[in-house]
Structure 1
């Protein structure tokens, strides 16, 4: 797994812990596919490690499936963390005669559908259990998974709980204040979720194009990823949906590739498929079909449904969505799109057998639908700019080692004394997950036996520090990578930080508006400065679909996607990465860490400017004033806005 993912998740968990100490109700927002269950697990583990009396109830949607999915994750966690003791509350009989809730566990998973008015669980068993726990001196905490869904029966007993954590990808902001958030931009930047590629509006006459695109992608998936991809088609409700289903199946059956499809209806009796391998009837039909369909080896190419797979079902191999369903529900649309944005090779990201082209393929989601980018704050933009930017990259570790005549195995012998350690095998293995792909592959070449593996594992942090020192000798490791242009199409998230711009490369697709939105006030202020120069050859380097990036070292290998790019009258390219050290409310903000990142960028941009012959700048907003670090031909300087204006316009 990408170590940056682990860092992002860890920061979110630490922020939740901090909030937990001062608030009784917390809301955590994180995109579908970002590992919410893993983070919930880590969060509970930390709380329990500090307080043996902590008891968690994790409520989830549906009668059993999502709760069982959560419970399985908690069980897996308990293998390496014995303090976690999970229990799944479930009914073994229709009459619930055998329903009992033991007291010796500390994490209880509850399917909301079991807690209904006429159930024995609702009528006393569960509340009596909570009362007994309180008598035993336990502290009861409620975690509401998929908290955007109303759960009145659980809400009615919220007075039993000392604290509540709401978790959702789509919380209702009118009812919940978001305390901790992993943004879409952050999830995208570490390859936690796929980038969206909007292909059409979801009209039925576009389905043939979608099927052709799927057939093309399927060939690439099979060849490069060894995964059979999946196209999700969401149809309308009632009679309209049945009419759409007939037309869709006809189009599918007409394809010579003999695509396999599955129809997942609200009623299990209406489930259907042309895959004879699963066309069976039994009492567990719904669960078995779902389990088969989500497997990377499943032969089902297309899954058609109404609302069956909007929540609680992980199917990372799904990479395309064709949404016919006419819905005005922002939540339904986001949840459905979330099904096709999971990273299908997340746990194999560091594998030496996964080529870069496979990673790029795996991180794209193709979407058809009249969704206006989720019916929420996203706006599509296009441009036809011919600005060319030279990007940079750093040499791989193997080449760095050869150039520096460095042998990590010999380094361990000469510089680092291995100390006996009682860590178990699971804790040792976790250290390898903190490595980049390049580090992982390079180290593995020096591991010849179990002793090598143990020694490397104990000393990984020490070796990484030495690696970064070697790689940060940019005069020896930095090279020009490719020449790139702005992506033809991208999108930005609507915020309350906006600015009218009529003189740059971007045009909004769906309207004639010139109102563009930014991630921070610092970006907006600097965009106003660039706009007022009255040049037309500049633009924001919107992250989605962008290939304009520059590799550098900051604790680990990272990529800088600069905020703005401008070409002046003399065809010099100017590249800007805007920063602000003013106080931020964002949970990820750490002023000292932020300053360290600026220093790391300064070291990298200095050499970038030397080898690319492009001008680099880091404008830093401090209070209401700008401190602008300039990097021209490998020389660093500091300027103010007036001096910067002269550099660009003369």
Structure 2
């Protein structure tokens, strides 16, 4: 067993980061199934080999769940025969609880626990070894160990496995946030009360070299990564390469399908795969390997226990009908199976020769689980996780026999998954706000919901809602729901896309479900329904139905009546609501408001499909965010579209962001979506949403930095794919600006321009301008008919920047 070429490159790179003189923290990311355990053991081996005189001690902390420390210890012992240093001492250390000690060791009162550092020794801990009521914590055993490290001048190499699930701790909660300064760490140690957090901080304080193995790097430190594309270049293929999504689901005739139908299709496909694996002539490298299907389920929600159990029972019935052997593994104390086995442990059912066809599992108990023979994943709606995680999909991507070269068309290269979400191979990017902009505050726009509630609490609004209700339509809907219930045993409420099909995701099976639906509906839409409005609508149901005697008003519950309202009248009610608010707003009631003191997020992360696409180097001091993964002067930033990319190019080509005689740009940035500066607005469905302008610019007088003006800029293509949203945004911009006569700002500083620019992708410099500004001259230009009659180009933005300072 040896490292592949790509694995070896990563190992060498990690080892090269070790600095004899200086403390170093790095992050290490690799796909599930890529051999991280073997790689990290080789890192240890090479550190010792290349630094023979260093007094190393290695500490590895991983999650205590699913016996991960024990599994890692077993793997290390198995792998060390392939190292240069084959005699490495490796120990898995567990801390008994203090309560156990009083019971179990009552006869041995003088028992003494001690952890001693030895040169090149590897110590493996579970993270729960340092919690409350643990002897290691209560008797100061770890403190003594760390004192020995310091006093005897060991170089502690601290390796944090699954760092994204426990090694990254928020300083604001008195926890650790990758601090390099020991002074800051000492301060945190003094303030930290939680025992497990205390020792996380203590290990990182005393470590000379820290390696954080993580699936989702935070970007605080230098990242060394191994990608699936890297692995594909190896002669030895560690991962399957062909993902096949929702195969055969298209052959189901119905548009809306059920979980049972999905599982039926998956089982039929899996039985075909089983036969192919067993065909030694076609698949010689799969001899004696039995494939496995994995069905991932969520942790049981106590409030939905009956539904959850019913769904599990349905799964088991389908598996039995297809004569598939299953194990339901929800933890060591919650296992069920339809076959007798010598062992039901994860290790036993993961072996290539296991007779178990299907494993139904939960994420928690199965953390860190390796089952290379797994080739199919099934995620069912309302049963499985709502997302398709990298780790979950990684369980079925391992090559079950990487040491033998399979035929080019071998099924061993395929993995199959059934899910509502298809796989995406995205790159995780972290960017950080530069220190000089961390205290820079900005304004955000919001719609005052309390003012809106005042507007709709009147008789005219309620009467207009009542007039929209049609008894005959309600009667027809009642009959429809009654027929659906008689046919299916439930009323389907919501469906979601499952690939190209739809699957029922929410249904009403009884009166309790109906009551819950009503409460959730009114809670979600409380903007449109005051208590008085609710009472008036319910009175209509009781009084008008009884008076008109269309059919017995007691024939169906008030909760079913609200279901009919939700499904048939919500859109009309929103229209009435918006018309009312719009009318009142025009009479200068302050609905659109602006507040100050909003900070940009200090770190933001996102995913990009292609690292080469929509990437621009922005090495400007005035640009707010820094990509720390870049070396030298590069500051590569990623943008959402070619239109945004063109906007940046125009700024650079026409020197819009250069210093002028009239102004300079203090800071500008791509606005982080969901975390950055926002403006609330009504969308075309009359719902209040947040819009995050694409770019933020702060223009200042070069002679007086206290004089500034902010530009929030939304970028659109001339071929706008959502013209309705664009119109609503522009409308909201004008509403915010038109409220100047009302005291909206705490600082009374009306220094903001809201712009929407449309770029013509077919012309070099063709830009249209829309929006509003508190700067009167800019606002007049934006309102003029002539503005977009001819091509203004990006130079008009430069003019606006000048005007914002000259007329401030």
Normalised to the residue count of structure 1, the TM-score between the two structures is: 0.52
| Contact 1:260 1:274 survives alignment (8 Å) | yes
Structure 2 residue 12 is matched with structure 1 residue 14: yes
Structure 2 residue 335 is matched with structure 1 residue 264: no
1:88 pairs, out of 78, 88, 92, with: 92
Q: CA deviation at 1:216?
A: 0.5
1:498 pairs, out of 613, 616, 622, with: 613
Distance 1:44 1:327 in 2: 36
Distance 1:306 1:203 in 2: 21
Summarize the Cα distance change of 1:188–1:515 in structure 2 as closer, same or farther, 3 Å threshold: farther
Q: CA deviation at 1:498?
A: 2.7
Could you tell me which residue of structure 1 aligns to residue 370 of structure 2? 314
Gaps of 5+ in 1: 279-284, 383-491, 501-512, 517-650
Summarize the Cα distance change of 1:108–1:39 in structure 2 as closer, same or farther, 3 Å threshold: same
Q: Deviations over 1:15-41 (max 9, x none)?
A: 111222376110011101111111101
Structure 2 residue 431 is matched with structure 1 residue 364: no
Summarize the Cα distance change of 1:254–1:83 in structure 2 as closer, same or farther, 3 Å threshold: closer
Distance 1:270 1:303 in 2: 13
Could you tell me which residue of structure 1 aligns to residue 404 of structure 2? 349
Could you tell me which residue of structure 2 aligns to residue 542 of structure 1? none
Summarize the Cα distance change of 1:143–1:514 in structure 2 as closer, same or farther, 3 Å threshold: closer
Q: CA deviation at 1:132?
A: 1.4
**Which secondary structure does the structure 2 equivalent of 1:298 belong to?**
coil
Distance 1:319 1:129 in 2: 44
Structure 2 residue 48 is matched with structure 1 residue 48: yes
Distance 2:40 2:296 in 1: 30
Higher Cα Rg, which structure: 2
Could you tell me which residue of structure 1 aligns to residue 63 of structure 2? 61
**Which secondary structure does the structure 2 equivalent of 1:192 belong to?**
coil
1:108 pairs, out of 123, 126, 151, with: 123
Summarize the Cα distance change of 1:78–1:192 in structure 2 as closer, same or farther, 3 Å threshold: closer
Q: Deviations over 1:169-211 (max 9, x none)?
A: x1243x5445211112112343221122222699613111111
Distance 2:299 2:425 in 1: 19
**Which secondary structure does the structure 2 equivalent of 1:320 belong to?**
strand
Could you tell me which residue of structure 2 aligns to residue 72 of structure 1? 74
Could you tell me which residue of structure 2 aligns to residue 412 of structure 1? none
1:228 pairs, out of 277, 290, 294, with: 290
| Contact 2:426 2:610 survives alignment (8 Å) | no
Could you tell me which residue of structure 1 aligns to residue 472 of structure 2? none
Q: 362-371 vs 198-207, which deviates more?
A: 198-207
- Give the count of matched residue pairs: 369
Q: 106-115 vs 296-305, which deviates more?
A: 106-115
Could you tell me which residue of structure 1 aligns to residue 544 of structure 2? none
**Which secondary structure does the structure 2 equivalent of 1:20 belong to?**
coil
Distance 1:11 1:376 in 2: 22
Summarize the Cα distance change of 1:193–1:23 in structure 2 as closer, same or farther, 3 Å threshold: farther
**Which secondary structure does the structure 1 equivalent of 2:369 belong to?**
coil
**Which secondary structure does the structure 2 equivalent of 1:8 belong to?**
helix
1:595-610 equivalent positions in 2, closer than 5 A? none
Could you tell me which residue of structure 2 aligns to residue 455 of structure 1? none
**Which secondary structure does the structure 2 equivalent of 1:108 belong to?**
strand
1:303-452 equivalent positions in 2, closer than 5 A? 303-308=359-364, 310-324=366-380, 325-327=383-385, 333-346=389-402, 348-349=403-404, 355-356=406-407, 360-373=410-423
Could you tell me which residue of structure 2 aligns to residue 159 of structure 1? 205
Summarize the Cα distance change of 1:326–1:115 in structure 2 as closer, same or farther, 3 Å threshold: same
Q: CA deviation at 1:514?
A: 9.6
Could you tell me which residue of structure 1 aligns to residue 728 of structure 2? none
Distance 1:337 1:63 in 2: 19
Summarize the Cα distance change of 1:178–1:320 in structure 2 as closer, same or farther, 3 Å threshold: farther
1:546-561 equivalent positions in 2, closer than 5 A? none
Q: CA deviation at 1:290?
A: 1.2
Summarize the Cα distance change of 1:15–1:275 in structure 2 as closer, same or farther, 3 Å threshold: same
Higher relative contact order (CA 8 A, sep 6+): 1
| Contact 1:232 1:318 survives alignment (8 Å) | yes
**Which secondary structure does the structure 2 equivalent of 1:179 belong to?**
strand
Could you tell me which residue of structure 1 aligns to residue 244 of structure 2? 197
Could you tell me which residue of structure 2 aligns to residue 447 of structure 1? none
| Contact 1:232 1:320 survives alignment (8 Å) | yes
Summarize the Cα distance change of 1:132–1:377 in structure 2 as closer, same or farther, 3 Å threshold: closer
Distance 1:310 1:272 in 2: 15
- Could you say what the CA RMSD is over the residues aligned between the two structures, in angstroms? 3.2
Q: Deviations over 1:89-108 (max 9, x none)?
A: 12478725665424336111
Gaps of 5+ in 2: 106-110, 170-196, 250-256, 429-498, 500-606, 616-639, 644-808
| Contact 2:159 2:213 survives alignment (8 Å) | yes
**Which secondary structure does the structure 2 equivalent of 1:213 belong to?**
helix
Structure 2 residue 139 is matched with structure 1 residue 135: no
Q: Deviations over 1:59-118 (max 9, x none)?
A: 111257221222223223444524522111124787256654243361111111222122
